[in-house]
Structure 1
């Protein structure tokens, strides 16, 4: 089969790895030398995954016969992996993904998950579905050029709005607690206000249409109970696991041509090439047996280097695992006093959960404060079976300090957990064919032919992964049809896996 041909525009850029990353985690690009471990078999219990009845697919396909052959194998059942299956179903339905087995008129796909369904970063994050509006635009433009920088924001708006549209159209927006409450960047100092306004002005100068409202300290205090500055923009909150669960169920209904299987608690331990004469190209080893397939999609984010060891470490082609910590804290005020918006500042991110009774004090999902862990700041860590006491102490004191009277000092959280993110040198994901980065200039160096990846979201995967999954499905379909893949108008070309096409 022909290699995917990508129509590219290269952007003249220069960068240094010492530039602060988009979420102030510059340390992440200097750590990580060994391939990541497999996900820990006994992770902490997140509010999302361990609330009663929240994960009906937790053990789906974990017993019984293992699917031994497929056209497409998807490794990982989070937002990326399930979105790949969804886009695959839609491509088949629209006739853009050719059927491989004309005898059965089926496209066979299997999702393999190391632990319970959606138990990785998607089932453990902060629940924000918030596209950046203009945050750190100057850095993005300096690194990637104006056109690519604009697309960096466009993909997030496309992804978040499409996810919201799908949930509403299918009638399960309330089921997944989708809330369009908006988003607030909380600015604690005048210097941060100046920086934010400089990014705002740069985005306007670049031609970006912005939807942002600036609030001074008096407005913030009278409206939200905090004596700081703020800038409000569009955004959503969601129960991530429930969204992925519903998306998976909907995917199975799109077309009978897609034969989609799910096997949880089935970690992939290796991916090996099959003999040239074999109908399939790759053999995936699991403790339950072997799966052979033609295409492999790595949707493993922070764990990607376990199966792709050349992607270990902090280099331009590396994905470094980083542990984050989150808790669910009961507020000391009703929802109307807190608002439905999501929040972020330099140290944390949070939002109040929906309530059924207006007088009820909501749970607030709060994460961040990783610097409190001390060096190496939870970098190069894949163990999400424990929490860091120091990070937990800072998170407990965080909201009572910012919002006096709305949160009770010293109150213990109702849940506390950790999860593993995947960071890259530039805080942008790798999307596209897996490459042998030792010699990418030679056609013969394409030794991972048929393997694709969408991973490395730098803690910002919810508004990126859905669209990135769409792109890799487009790429596979283009290869199968022996045609050129053309990037969507919203896709940032620096996301592409080719080292030649990412900024150097």
Structure 2
């Protein structure tokens, strides 16, 4: 993993996913006979494929889906996963598909300019609409507990209120659209009442969705296996990728070699192990999330009507959804409670951080008015860790890899992948088919250009260790 010493970062390759991770709420509920646990479409690893996809999270699954259901699909697609299907960040996240409709504008503008900042925010709304479209097209609403509605950003102190409002006003001043999309709630008393949040200073309301991410991913993968010939090989870590004869790629695994005409890296936090040029450009970041059984005042007809982010200052926040079917609340965050060097560069998703467990255990009572006393069986049900992949600018690397013919990447989604990956994966599929970057509609600043890969002002590790309040790292 990356090492951090004396306040300065010395990033190294992150290694491989741990073989014995803790099990999230999402993964606990998928151990029945119909699950894809341990799935290998063929007993032996295929010797060759037209396209190899490394990674089976939402990026890998959506790439396979858009490739195989689009025009001129590849003759063969093999998906390789180091562990079980969707056991990485997607199977451990907050179940929150939540576009940034205003908040990150100022930071993105400072990094990339006004036009790209506008494109980044528009891409997130495009992603929410695309996720909705695909779920409805494939009849997956009930399968993955999809809900679409509204979300609250809740400012818990004046610094956060100023951050929200200044970005909101700058976005509008530059021509950003908020009418019918974002409602700014300036008055603290109204913000407290609307959000049911104790101590709210201000709030903003905008569109969002929630879902069971593992079930969406495995439903898309199963569809691709059953109808389109996708070959999935779990528990098959790719140890190296090298050039082979005929402009192909040779993927070496513990179970043999696979030769592929094209390769897609959907490897997020672990990308730099296979692509060393991404050391310091994509870094692992350990997060913690939990499932909470609500008290009666937050159950039945009194369930929360929105998803949430409660935020302090610029970078410190908890994110939360309440599941529509069983009312279970998924809440994660608390990272400001832990020294950053325990999180950045850390790939250990086998255990939990006790300080964060205690924080998450008490978060609902701390935030929500009238939470009340928890009866036996209410409150914290389970918590778990997961490894995200961050970039210095908090936007992913998406596109064709420079100098690597027929190699593509969608990684570094910076804890915000649910709001980006579907459009990114659709874009990768379009590029593989030979379409132009412009046709993808993705922001140009996502591309892994040589200029972007040249040493940035700061590595990811330096951004967190030395400044921590540089570009806001959003969820």
**Normalised TM-score (structure 2):** 0.86
User: 3-state DSSP class of the match of 2:419?
Assistant: coil
1:434 maps onto 2:401 in alignment? yes
- Residue matched to 1:14: none
Q: 1:430·1:495 contact (CA, 8 Å) conserved in 2?
A: yes
- Residue matched to 2:344: 379
User: 3-state DSSP class of the match of 1:500?
Assistant: helix
- Residue matched to 1:349: 319
- Residue matched to 2:462: none
- Residue matched to 2:109: 141
Q: 2:153·2:310 contact (CA, 8 Å) conserved in 1?
A: yes
- CA distance in 2: counterparts of 1:408 and 1:457, whole angstroms: 38
- Residue matched to 1:3: none
1:79 maps onto 2:66 in alignment? no
- Residue matched to 1:311: 278
Evaluate the alpha carbon distance shift between residue 138 and residue 150 of structure 1 in structure 2; reply closer, same or farther with a 3 A threshold. Answer: same
- CA distance in 1: counterparts of 2:138 and 2:263, whole angstroms: 29
Q: 2:286·2:388 contact (CA, 8 Å) conserved in 1?
A: yes
For 1:119-130, what aligned pairs fall within 5 Å after superposition? Answer: 119-130=87-98
- CA distance in 2: counterparts of 1:182 and 1:198, whole angstroms: 22
In structure 1, runs of 5+ residues without a counterpart are 1-26, 100-106, 357-361, 436-445, 479-483
- Residue matched to 1:473: 429
1:234 maps onto 2:207 in alignment? yes
User: 3-state DSSP class of the match of 2:450?
Assistant: coil
- Residue matched to 1:116: 84
- Residue matched to 2:99: 131
- CA distance in 2: counterparts of 1:260 and 1:250, whole angstroms: 9
Q: 1:225·1:404 contact (CA, 8 Å) conserved in 2?
A: yes
**Normalised TM-score (structure 1):** 0.81
Q: 2:96·2:418 contact (CA, 8 Å) conserved in 1?
A: yes
Query: Aligned to 1:420, which of 377, 384, 387?
Result: 387
Evaluate the alpha carbon distance shift between residue 251 and residue 365 of structure 1 in structure 2; reply closer, same or farther with a 3 A threshold. Answer: same
- CA distance in 2: counterparts of 1:286 and 1:501, whole angstroms: 30
- Residue matched to 2:463: none
1:40 maps onto 2:18 in alignment? yes
For 1:163-178, what aligned pairs fall within 5 Å after superposition? Answer: 163-178=131-146
Higher fraction of strand? 2
User: 3-state DSSP class of the match of 1:88?
Assistant: helix
The RMSD of aligned alpha carbons is: 2.4
- CA distance in 1: counterparts of 2:397 and 2:263, whole angstroms: 15
- Residue matched to 2:442: 491
- Residue matched to 2:464: none
- CA distance in 1: counterparts of 2:36 and 2:215, whole angstroms: 10
Give a deviation string over 1:215-273, Cα, whole Å, max 9, x none.
3333343344323122110000010011112222333566xxx5310111111111122
- CA distance in 2: counterparts of 1:30 and 1:485, whole angstroms: 40
Q: 1:340·1:351 contact (CA, 8 Å) conserved in 2?
A: no
- CA distance in 2: counterparts of 1:30 and 1:299, whole angstroms: 29
- CA distance in 2: counterparts of 1:387 and 1:221, whole angstroms: 32
User: 3-state DSSP class of the match of 2:217?
Assistant: helix
In structure 2, runs of 5+ residues without a counterpart are 312-316, 457-475
- Residue matched to 1:219: 190
- When the two structures are aligned, how many residues end up with a matched partner? 435
Query: Aligned to 1:67, which of 46, 61, 69?
Result: 46
